[in-house]
Structure 1
Amino acid sequence: MPLKDHVILITGAGGGLGATAALALARHGAQIILLDKNIPKLERIYDAIVAAGAPEPVMYPFDLAGASEAQYQEMADAIEQRYGSLQGLLHSAVEFSAFSPIASYKTKDWGHALNVNLNAPFILCRVLLPLLQLSRHAAIVFTSDSAARKAQAYSGAYGVSKIALEGFAAILAAELEAGQKIRVNTLCPGPVDSPLRKRAYPAEDKTAIPPMSSLEPLYLYLFGDASIGVTGQIIDAQTFKP
């Protein structure tokens, strides 16, 4: 169990890539903190992890966009009280509804997407860095989109947030590199049969793209000992071989 004694918090853990990562990491011994605002989805992945015989996870219902900074800090305090430290943080939550031209965006929708996709990862990193620093080695993994880096038309707030998120990850990695404790990397999953992909490309033949489970080896690599010393990287699932 290579991830035994690893405590890993996953945002967006209720479905899609977050649930895929949660189950894969739990099967390898990690204690998973499942964070999502959708309680039924949390319960489903909780049951799946327990059914797999993995360590019992913790459900933490949480609204990334609606929570106050005090509530973020309360979460960090609760994790410290229960576990003492944190070995991993996966930013997998995402807000995307549909492709839309900038001219038709409503300010409320724009702000909500940026809150989930960019501001929440910043606040989480800030409040959880002290707990990650208490570990001998820890990993922060952001989830991006290689298509967004091309400034794709109609990608809107989603595209802007992913471009900014990659910049934020690079800055954070540079700041933490000297400490040699916390590695920071960005995963670009590529085309996989995920709920987000279904919303973005509803007419696409999903049998022609890999399942979400194809990313499991990458999650194990990014949070396992094999990636110690690897930081500041953008890892494309289509080309990277762990």
Structure 2
Amino acid sequence: MPLTNQVILITGAGGGLGSTAALALAKQGAQIILLDKSIPKLETVYDLIKAASAPEPIMYPFDLAGANEDEYQELADKIGEKYGFLQGVLHSAVEFSGYTPIALQGTKEWGHTLNVNLNAPFLLSRVLLPVLQKSQTASIVFTSDSSARTAVAYSGAYGVSKIALEGLAKILAEEFESSNKIRVNTLIPGPVDSPLRKRAYPAEDKGKLPKMESLDAVYLYLFGPQSIGVTGQAIDARTFHL
């Protein structure tokens, strides 16, 4: 299995795409650290991975928006103490409450969305860099949205956070390109039958959408040996093929 002995942390691991990625990567031998604020959701994903006879994952309940800087650092320290290194981070946690005109966007909702979708990926990546750098190769993957570049009306704080997140990924990729150790890419999942898609487009016929498991191949590519040397890219799952 190509990911045997690889330690990969996934945020939003209890969500649709996060749990899909966790199961796909675990089936290929990865040791998954499941990060989510919902313990019941973590337990569900844990059970799915165990049932697949994959390596036993680690559950780490964590509130990305509510945690302070010390708690982020404590997470990084615990990973360093237990494993000594980290080969991957998938930023899959997302906050989206609905499409809202900027004129009606509440300050609290704006701040919370940016905290989960942008500030948390920045802070988590920063505190984990020392353990990522201890690996021969490591992969950081940010999850964006196909509408990020078009800045669609009413996407509000969610839209702004995804635009900024792609910028953060590009900057990080540039900063680590010369080291040839940490690759940083952005995944654009495209329309799939996910819980987020259901909230965004409730009237859409979800039976016509690809299943979340259709993303398995792109997750395995981004964290597997085939993507070593590929950095600073936005990988669109709709056009992805090896």
Q: TM-score, normalised by structure 2?
A: 0.99
Within a 5 Å distance, the mapping from 1:18-167 to structure 2 comes to 18-167=18-167
Contact 1:148 1:155 in 2 (8 A): no
Match of 1:13 in 2: 13
> Structure 1: which 5+ runs fail to align?
none
Q: Quote the Cα distance in structure 2 between the aligned partners of 1:148 and 1:184.
A: 18
SS of 1:93 mapped into structure 2 = coil
Contact 1:101 1:156 in 2 (8 A): yes
Give the letter for the 1:120 counterpart: A
Q: Quote the Cα distance in structure 2 between the aligned partners of 1:128 and 1:209.
A: 35
C-alpha offsets along residues 23-62 of structure 1, whole Å, 9 cap, x if unaligned? 0000000000000001100000000000000000000000
Q: Quote the Cα distance in structure 2 between the aligned partners of 1:148 and 1:186.
A: 12
SS of 1:90 mapped into structure 2 = strand
Give the letter for the 1:76 counterpart: A
Q: Quote the Cα distance in structure 2 between the aligned partners of 1:41 and 1:15.
A: 7
Give the letter for the 1:162 counterpart: K
Count of aligned pairs: 242
Give the letter for the 2:86 counterpart: L
Considering only aligned residues, what root-mean-square deviation do their CA atoms show, in Å?
Answer: 0.4
Identical-residue share of aligned pairs (%): 74
Contact 2:15 2:93 in 1 (8 A): no
Contact 1:8 1:86 in 2 (8 A): yes
Q: Quote the Cα distance in structure 2 between the aligned partners of 1:82 and 1:194.
A: 33
Match of 1:184 in 2: 184
What is the deviation of 1:215? 0.1
Q: Quote the Cα distance in structure 1 between the aligned partners of 2:127 and 2:90.
A: 14
What is the deviation of 1:146? 1.4
Moved >3 Å (runs of 4+)? none
Q: TM-score, normalised by structure 1?
A: 0.99
SS of 1:81 mapped into structure 2 = helix
Contact 1:149 1:159 in 2 (8 A): no
What is the deviation of 1:117? 0.1
Within a 5 Å distance, the mapping from 1:188-227 to structure 2 comes to 188-227=188-227
Q: Quote the Cα distance in structure 1 between the aligned partners of 2:143 and 2:15.
A: 14
What is the deviation of 1:223? 0.1
Give the letter for the 1:160 counterpart: V
What is the deviation of 1:148? 2.1
Contact 1:146 1:190 in 2 (8 A): yes
Q: Quote the Cα distance in structure 1 between the aligned partners of 2:145 and 2:11.
A: 17
Give the letter for the 1:58 counterpart: I
